[in-house]
Structure 1
Amino acid sequence: MSTQMTQAFRTERRILRRPEVEAKTGFKRAHIYNLMKAGKFPKALRLGVRAVGWDAAEIDQWIEERLNDRT
């Protein structure tokens, strides 16, 4: 089984709100949205008229890819 598949099975599938994404990445709101606009960060999911969230699995995968890129 590949590392990505193993990671996907271990990752809890839930929706993260912005404060959780900021805590996981260390980025603030403006930087997250700039990365999204540039296509370098997972897109937010619309949850309501004024609410968005991110798929926890996508955020965890994005973090893992950044860590793998540094080697």
Structure 2
Amino acid sequence: MEIKTLINRKKLHAMIPLAERTIYNMEQRGEFPRRIALTSRSVAWDLAEIEEWIEARRSSGAQAARPGA
């Protein structure tokens, strides 16, 4: 069985400097890895999924689209 490394909100924001609401909206649209509910008040993200998302953004070379642009 593969051991997954989970990161908390603080570590996620250190890696991805986006607003909480932006990350949540991207999750809802399927554009960002989904959070994992650990308890009713605690969530985490799979570190490998976050690193893959960062690498995909880096390698795509595409500029992020501005809403309404």
Band of TM-score, shorter chain: 0.7 to 0.9
The one of 51, 55, 63 equivalent to 1:64 is 55
**Which residue in the other structure is 2:13 paired with?**
22
Q: Write 1 or 2 for the structure with the bigger share of helix.
A: 1
- Which residue of structure 1 aligns with residue 35 of structure 2? 44
Q: Which runs of 5+ in 2 are unaligned?
A: 63-69
Identity rate of aligned residues, in percent? 34
TM-score if structure 1 supplies the norm length? 0.77
Moved over 4 A (4+): none
TM-score (norm 2): 0.79
- What is the aligned length? 60
Gaps of 5+ in 1: 1-12
Q: Residue in 2 aligned with 1:54?
A: 45
Backbone CA RMSD of aligned residues:
1.6
1:22 is displaced (CA, Å) by 1.1
